[in-house]
Amino acid sequence: MAALTREETQALIQEVLEVYPEKARKDRAKHIMINDKTLESSKKCITSNRKSLPGVMTMRGCAYAGSKGVVWGPIKDVISISHGPIGCGQYSRAGRRNYYVGTTGVDTFSEMNFTSDFQEKDIVFGGDKKLAKLIEEIEMLFPLNKGITVQSECPIGLIGDDIEAVAKKMSAQIGKPVVPVRCEGFRGVSQSLGHHIANDSIRDWIISNRDGQAFEKTPYDVAILGDYNIGGDAWASRILLEEMGLRVVAQWSGDGTLAELENTPNVKLNLLHCYRSMNYIARHMEEKYGIPWIEYNFFGPTKIAESLRKIASFFDDRIKEGAERVIEKYTPVMNAVIAKYKPRLQGKKVMLYVGGLRPRHVVGAYEDLGMEVIGTGYEFAHNDDYDRTIKEMGDATLIYDDATGYELEEFVKALKPDLIGSGIKEKYVFHKMGVPFRQMHSWDYSGPYHGYDGFAIFARDMDMALNNPCWKMLTPPWLRQTDASELKKAA
């Protein structure tokens, strides 16, 4: 049951959009919809993946963020150079908490910032020479790197540097892959195009590197795609797959290595967690190597069980039994978690606003705890994401695309959710409004949230945020209504 009826929600949207100038109002109205479960396609109800309006506060990032920050960055034994001025790389350094095993600075490099630190003279005379020198230096100082990527920042595209030529030359010189990535921040409307560009660069420069080489296959090889190991997510997923008898050949890209990427064409099935950022490469492998791919969801026991069975259906009985065994093993543990937290969370309302996957994927986990998601939205989803969202959300709930800071605040004021899940940019605004909040990008420095182990942490964190005593202390003592008995006691 949604909190509002369809008409009330419609009125709310109208009211919120009222303050915009007419043109902006018309445009924003297309990005907000009221869910209707009977819909097959979101096409007619919501517009997505369009340029944000100038003047409103959007939460989006840039193509460079999508490529360097999301797809390439977490690959631990590859050095990704932020090619251009220093800020883009420095201010996004190690911000996504992609955990990995290794000694940073020796054999793994994800947390470091490598940059060409462009100065005026590089813009005027071009930075190709500097890039070549930089790659030489990297090779000398960090010889254990397995490859280098050149992540272009805005100026590179503007001044017309030929990073492809430098990459080819340097790759031959150092004998390792050097991948030029044309992910200048101005391309596209959000980080989403950066994911696509990064996928394409993996396709063009990496994926077929080991074609024809011997590889010891088993019939149970799979690859995890689109799991960035935030707070250890991929590890919590991997153990379940291994427990049911599968062999995980590669992790894309959290805690992943270049060798894993190159070995992926040998797997039997690609498991796709974040559809938005890695469907491109999954589709490419399907066409080129005939590897099928499926989407799965490891948030909350209901969806995990569903996903494990779905994955198992691609394999023989051994794996199918394995899946059942895993589900059976964890069910009592999960029941205990639910028994503990559900009474404290039952009936609470949640609003979400996250990136490209979680606005729909975590709905099941909240429902497992008896909570209800009354509004959700994506920063940079496309319509195929909204098609998938319609099924997950309740009728007459609110769905917003590329919501602005103002809209989110107004929706929260009207819908009065008990908990908000979004990012760091929204966190303190809502804290100051007195609404409990969890960061759903970085798990608020907690995690993992994937898998059975993750769900226990998820439930605890949600309880911790929602039932924190601090929310009762927001009214200062002089504004508090004191009742007579307390006064008497004091007297």
- Active-site residues, by number, are 62, 65, 96, 195
- Decide which of ligand SF4, another protein, none touches 43; Cβ closer than 5 to 8 Å per partner kind: another protein
- The reply to whether 309 sits near another protein by the rule CB under 8 A is no
- Closer to another protein by Cβ: residue 114 or 296: 296
153 touches ligand SF4 by CB under 6 A? yes
Does residue 43 interact with another protein by CB under 8 A? yes
Q: Residue 357, exposed/middle/buried by CB under 10 A (0-12, 13-18, 19+)?
A: buried
- Applying CB under 8 A, the span of 278-286, 359-367, 390-398, 447-455 interacting with another protein comes to 278-286
Closest contact distance (angstroms) between CB of 87 and ligand SF4 is: 7
Q: Please, which of residues 120-149 interact with another protein by CB under 8 A? A: none
Task: Name the binder of 64 from ligand SF4, another protein, none, CB < 5-8 A by kind.
Answer: ligand SF4
Closer CB to ligand SF4, 91 or 445, in the complex: 91
- 269, β-bridge pairs: 222
CB of 316 to another protein, least distance (A): 21
In terms of DSSP bridges, do strands 247-253 and 221-227 run parallel, antiparallel, or are they unpaired? Answer: parallel
> Residue written as tokens 């990427």?
261
Q: Which of 286, 321, 328, 486 binds another protein (CB under 8 A)?
A: 286
Q: Which does 79 bind (CB under 5 to 8 A by kind): ligand SF4, another protein, none?
A: none
Residue 50 vs 413, nearer CB to another protein: 50
Nearer to ligand SF4, 147 or 157 (CB): 157
Considering the rule CB under 8 A, would residue 40 count as an interface residue with another protein? Answer: yes
Amino acid at 20: Y
Residue 8 interacts with which of ligand SF4, another protein, none, CB < 5 to 8 Å by class: none
Is 25 one of the binding residues for another protein (CB under 8 A)? no
Report strand pairing: 398-401 vs 32-34. antiparallel
Write down the least CB distance from residue 60 to another protein, Å: 16
Give me the least distance between CB of 64 and ligand SF4, in Å please: 3
Please list every residue from 63 through 92 that binds ligand SF4, using CB under 6 A: 64, 88
Please give, one letter per residue, the 3-state secondary structure of 374-406: EEEEECCCCHHHHHHHHHHCCCCCEEEECCCHH
- Decide: is 154 part of the binding site for ligand SF4 (CB under 6 A): yes
Residue 384 is a binding residue for another protein (CB under 8 A):
yes
Looking at residue 162, its amino acid is: D
Residue 40's binding partner out of another protein, ligand SF4, none, with CB under 5 to 8 Å set by partner kind: another protein
Applying CB under 8 A, the span of 118-126, 216-224, 280-288, 407-415 interacting with another protein comes to 280-288
Alpha carbons 255 and 74: distance in angstroms, whole number: 6
Which residue, among 367, 34, 70, 88, has the nearest Cα to 229 in the 3D structure? 70
Among another protein, ligand SF4, none, residue 384 binds (CB under 5-8 Å by kind): another protein
> Which region among 52-60, 282-290, 312-320, 331-339 touches another protein (by CB under 8 A)?
282-290
Distance in Å, CB of 3 to ligand SF4, minimum: 38
CA distance 252 to 447: 18
Residue selected from 382, 438, 441, 450 as contacting another protein according to rule CB under 8 A: 382
- Interface residue with ligand SF4 among 74, 127, 157, 185 (CB under 6 A) is 185
Binding footprint of another protein, residue count (CB under 8 A):
13
- Burial classification of residue 346, based on how many CB atoms lie within 10 Å of its CB (0-12 exposed, 13-18 middle, 19 or more buried): exposed
153 binds, among another protein, ligand SF4, none (CB under 5 to 8 A by kind): ligand SF4
Query: Could you give the CA distance from residue 77 to residue 295 in angstroms, rounded to a whole number?
Result: 27
Contact partner, 280, from another protein, ligand SF4, none, Cβ < 5-8 Å per class: another protein
Residues that bind another protein (CB under 8 A): 40-41, 43, 49, 196, 280, 283, 286-287, 290, 382-384
Residues that bind ligand SF4 (CB under 6 A): 62, 64, 88, 153-154, 185
